[in-house]
Amino acid sequence: MSATQTSGASAPVLKKGPIVAAILIAAFVALLNQTLMNVALPKMMNDLGVGATTIQWLTTGFMLVNGVLVPLSAYLVQKFTTRALFLTATILFSIGTFICAIGTDFSVIMVGRIVQALGAGILLPLMNVIFLTIFPIEKRGQAMGMMGIAMIFAPAIGPTLSGWVIEHNSWHVLFWIILPLGLISVLLGFLFMKNVLPNSKPKLEYLSVILSTLGFGGILYGFSEAGSKGWDSTEVIVSIVVGAVALVLFVWRQFMAETPLLEMRVFKYNMYSLTTVINVVVTMAMYAGMILLPIYLQNIRGFSPLESGLLLLPGSILMGIMSPVTGIIFDKIGARWLVVIGLIITTLTTYEFSDLTVNTTYGHLIFVYTARMFGMSMVMMPVQTAGLNQLPAKMNAHGAAMSNTLRTIAGALGTAFLVTIMNNRATDRGTELVKASGLNPQDPANAQAIGKLTQDATVYGIDQAFIVATWITVVALVLAFFIRKVQVNKESAPLDSKTVSVASKG
């Protein structure tokens, strides 16, 4: 029976609290898992006896599986029940975590990471659709703000927790920390998750799946590797070209297919299209802080992973606290002025990071980063919710899938683009400084002086990358002035106690 079919006067009351708790905890665990890994990779590289290129596959492979699964999420949500999908996702994630926890060589841990990614790739898009479905339109901002708590608090405590564990224990402990949380998510799913989404019998468009895998996988892999191997790498060029061609064919196929895998017609809704573009641009700029600051803190300033995590912690916690607050404000005044004010703060603080030196104080860094996260808290969830609000309920899954897919690609593109700018500017600056100094780089007696010049050049490269990130943020700010309230499609009405399927009992 459909989840939107009325079951009569005896229909069970939909208790949102337990459902929300189950999905938030599961999402928090999945996101915490990813942020824990970033800090642990150098130690894992040494213990497993592999190089930097190989160890990066633990994150690149995870991201690729996610990138391939997210476009499939709309089909999965329509095909399978909410409860079945949630339990499948959390069980897969827990199995993958256990494999990683007991793994002693790279290949075993890689398998575990892929299994983890299968669970996370289902779970995060599912969370979006559930929240859009069970909350009334006038409370969606508050609901999406609650979702933001999980999406922000996990990255907030992840680097700090990982830094502390890596300094005092084996990296295996990270997975043993995650495993009980994953099992709790499974238990909560068994106890509380209900079938709140309507099901149908969509046909799986196999050609679209193949083109989606080649397209999104190729693009994500190419951009991810460009940051380390360079844009002129044959591997990077071939990957991006194959991905781009496959994506063009994929888009064409979605318009031709009777049952498209990813509904491109969501872009007929003008506010959804605008806010998706803003979200993509802001995501690219956000990665400036996530990628460049750790490089500056650890490689230039010599801070430990724990010290770096502690510096980023206050800003991330503030962003998590502000997420439900901005959601409540969004429900009252809409998205435009929240997003505009947030992007003004984000633009100014991003520009402030373009003036880093080897002597910038720890306190100044904390203040600017915290202010930047405060600005971001007024942008991310409101702009996403404003666009999704325009879609009819039948397109919620497709809208969420499209938004998540494009943000994933934007993250990979932003990382590769900004790292490339940093490396190129640093290399050019280093050459200029060495030439101006008159020092011979081959002379061992000049090693210390050359090292100092290289350090100065790297800081210059980071500053230049932040300047580019500032202009990216300005683009989003200009677009934000065109956000407006839209008449919500009446098909977007959420489930209530009288429209819950009898199947939700199971």
N residues, the chain = 506
Q: How confident is the model at residue 500 (pLDDT cuts 50, 70, 90)?
A: very low
Q: Is residue 1 part of a domain?
A: no
Q: Which of 239, 260, 281 is the last residue of a domain?
A: 260
45 & 163 share domain: yes
Q: What residues make up the domain containing 329?
A: 16-204+261-505
The burial of 326, by beta-carbon neighbours within 10 Å (0-12 exposed, 13-18 middle, 19 or more buried), is given as buried
How many other CB atoms sit within 10 Å of the CB of residue 47?
14
User: Quick check: 326 pLDDT over 90?
Assistant: no
Per-residue pLDDT averaged across 52-56, rounded? 71
Distance of CA 217 to the CA centre of its chain: 16
Select the more confidently predicted residue: 390 or 2: 390
Q: Is residue 2 part of a domain?
A: no
355 secondary structure, DSSP code? G
229 & 337 share domain: no
Span of 96-110, 264-278, 465-479, 489-503 with lowest mean pLDDT: 489-503
pLDDT tens digit sequence for 141-170: 777 777 777 777 777 677 778 878 887 888
Please check whether residue 66 is in contact with residue 117, taking contact to mean a CB–CB distance below 8 angstroms.
yes
183 & 318 share domain: yes
Q: Is residue 311 part of a domain?
A: yes
312 & 418 share domain: yes
Taking the C-alpha atoms of residue 380 and residue 342, their distance in angstroms, rounded to an integer, is 9
250 & 106 share domain: no
Q: Is residue 480 part of a domain?
A: yes
Taking the C-alpha atoms of residue 216 and residue 467, their distance in angstroms, rounded to an integer, is 28
Closest to 90 in 3D by CA, of 64, 112, 69, 120: 120
Q: How confident is the model at residue 284 (pLDDT cuts 50, 70, 90)?
A: confident
User: Quick check: 476 pLDDT over 70?
Assistant: yes
Taking each helix axis from N to C end, the angle separating 362-377 and 336-352, rounded to the nearest 10 degrees, works out to 160
pLDDT tens digit sequence for 350-383: 999 999 888 888 889 999 989 998 898 888 888 8
Q: Is residue 9 part of a domain?
A: no
Show the tokens assigned to 152: 């922000």
Query: What is the model's pLDDT at position 101?
Result: 93
Please check whether residue 377 is in contact with residue 342, taking contact to mean a CB–CB distance below 8 angstroms.
yes
pLDDT tens digit sequence for 437-451: 777 777 777 777 877
What percentage of residues in the chain have a pLDDT greater than 70?
91
Query: What is the model's pLDDT at position 452?
Result: 83
Taking the C-alpha atoms of residue 457 and residue 96, their distance in angstroms, rounded to an integer, is 41
265 & 151 share domain: yes
In 169-304, where does DSSP find H-type helix? Answer: 172-192, 206-229, 234-256, 270-287, 293-294
251 & 327 share domain: no
Domain CATH for 353: 1.20.1250.20
What percentage of residues in the chain have a pLDDT greater than 90?
18
Q: Is residue 109 part of a domain?
A: yes
68 & 83 share domain: yes
User: Quick check: 313 pLDDT over 50?
Assistant: yes
Q: Is residue 3 part of a domain?
A: no
Top-confidence range, 142-156, 200-214, 433-447, 481-495: 200-214
Q: Is residue 11 part of a domain?
A: no
Please check whether residue 22 is in contact with residue 86, taking contact to mean a CB–CB distance below 8 angstroms.
yes
The burial of 27, by beta-carbon neighbours within 10 Å (0-12 exposed, 13-18 middle, 19 or more buried), is given as buried
Average pLDDT, the chain: 81
Span of 19-33, 123-137, 173-187 with lowest mean pLDDT: 123-137
Q: Which of 260, 279, 295 is the last residue of a domain?
A: 260
Q: Which of 260, 280, 305 is the last residue of a domain?
A: 260
375 & 472 share domain: yes
Taking the C-alpha atoms of residue 308 and residue 161, their distance in angstroms, rounded to an integer, is 11
For 203, the enclosing helix (H) or strand (E) is none
Per-residue pLDDT averaged across 484-494, rounded? 58
Count of the separate structural domains present in the chain: 2
374 & 430 share domain: yes
What is the residue whose two structure tokens read 């997420």?
Answer: 323
340 & 225 share domain: no
CA dihedral 502, 503, 505, 506 (to 10 degrees): 160
Per-residue pLDDT averaged across 235-260, rounded? 88
288 & 314 share domain: yes
C-alpha neighbours within 13 Å on the C-beta side of residue 408: 26
